[in-house]
């Protein structure tokens, strides 16, 4: 079995890499913070010294990085993937970045004879751990058919949404919907709590109706327990919304609701809550209403 390279072992990347190892794949891993690779080394992964070192050991490379600048640094920077790549390899970028950057990286890879796929994910840490992420893929059909089985180890839903960049366009749409859903839940449950009604009973009453959603089911129990341990940080959602706003403005699409939730998240960041889970959006409303949504 050929080795797979995996670059980026953070909150999402590490459990995704673990699932590949559990499925029997041989991994070569790299992270800018060397200690993050220790746990995977114990599981049998080989640790590379740089992206260039990693690509010399394998042709299939997965990247799971914070944003576009990091993706560009790893792919086209000094000691990056393309500095050492021969023809015939593939980069599967699972980072959530601007589709514009995805297309730039695709063009850079094409010049070196390397294939490229943008395959961002949704589901946060819990779904990364249990291998049920939603994976949105942009690439040629033949690439999707060839590498889809690898993605299915990490995802419960793996859908090709179109050509290069379409995966990240889909992810931006996803992040807009998730952010606004959390904001709506936060606003509604703050209102209910201030009105003197038990928020847990409201949740039980409405979760099976039209207002119910995967977002509400996932976030309300955590809010009620005052658990804002990050599955997906507010600061990371700010990054995704910034990409969404930039993309929308570049193609002439007004996004007033996305702009509003971006400002709410920016306020939370300034208030020192950027490392909280994005369910912590409720704290913006709670501060204004002088109330806590809890059991």
Active site residues: 171
Distance set, CA 64 to CA 9, 119, 267 (Å): 7, 10, 27
Residue that the structure tokens 């021969």 belong to:
86
142: CB partners within 8 A, 6+ apart: none
Asked whether the beta carbons of 280 and 228 are under 8 A apart, the reply is yes
3-class SS of residue 62: strand
3-class SS of residue 158: strand
Phi, psi of 90 (to 5 degrees): -140, 145
143: CB partners within 8 A, 6+ apart: 90, 115, 117
Measure the CA–CA gap between 227 and 224, rounded to whole angstroms: 8
Distance set, CA 165 to CA 21, 67, 97, 159, 270 (Å): 28, 14, 9, 14, 32
Measure the CA–CA gap between 88 and 91, rounded to whole angstroms: 10
Helix residue spans in 207-289 (DSSP H)? 214-224, 234-250, 256-270, 282-289
Helix axes 282-289, 256-270, angle to 10 degrees: 70
Residue that the structure tokens 């889970």 belong to:
277
Q: Cα 22–29–241 angle (5° rounding)?
A: 95
């Amino acid at each position: 079995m050929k080795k797979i390279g995996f670059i980026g072992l953070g909150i999402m990347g590490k459990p995704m890499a673990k699932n590949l190892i559990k499925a029997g794949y041989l991994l070569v891993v790299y992270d800018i913070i060397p200690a993050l690779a220790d746990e995977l080394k114990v599981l049998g992964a080989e640790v590379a010294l740089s992206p260039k070192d990693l690509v010399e050991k394998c042709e299939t490379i997965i990247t799971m990085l914070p944003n576009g600048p990091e993706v560009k640094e790893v792919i086209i920077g000094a000691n990056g993937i393309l500095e050492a790549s021969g023809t015939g390899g593939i980069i599967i970028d699972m980072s959530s970045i601007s589709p514009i950057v995805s297309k730039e990286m695709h063009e850079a890879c094409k010049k070196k004879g390397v294939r490229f796929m943008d395959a961002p994910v949704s589901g946060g840490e819990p779904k990364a751990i249990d291998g049920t992420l939603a994976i949105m893929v942009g690439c040629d059909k033949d690439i999707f058919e060839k590498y889809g089985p690898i993605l299915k180890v990490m995802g419960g839903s793996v859908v090709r949404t179109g050509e290069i960049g379409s995966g990240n366009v889909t992810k931006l749409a996803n992040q807009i919907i998730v952010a606004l859903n959390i904001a709506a839940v936060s606003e509604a449950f703050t209102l209910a709590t201030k009105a003197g009604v038990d928020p847990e009973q409201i949740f039980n009453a409405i979760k099976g109706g039209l207002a119910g959603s995967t977002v509400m089911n996932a976030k309300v129990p955590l809010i009620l327990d005052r658990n804002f341990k990050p599955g997906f940080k507010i600061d990371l959602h700010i990054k995704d919304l910034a990409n969404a706003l930039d993309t929308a403005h570049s193609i002439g699409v007004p996004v007033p609701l996305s702009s509003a939730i971006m400002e709410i998240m920016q306020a939370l960041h300034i208030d020192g809550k950027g490392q909280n889970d994005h369910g912590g959006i409720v704290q913006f409303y709670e501060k204004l209403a002088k109330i806590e949504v809890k059991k």
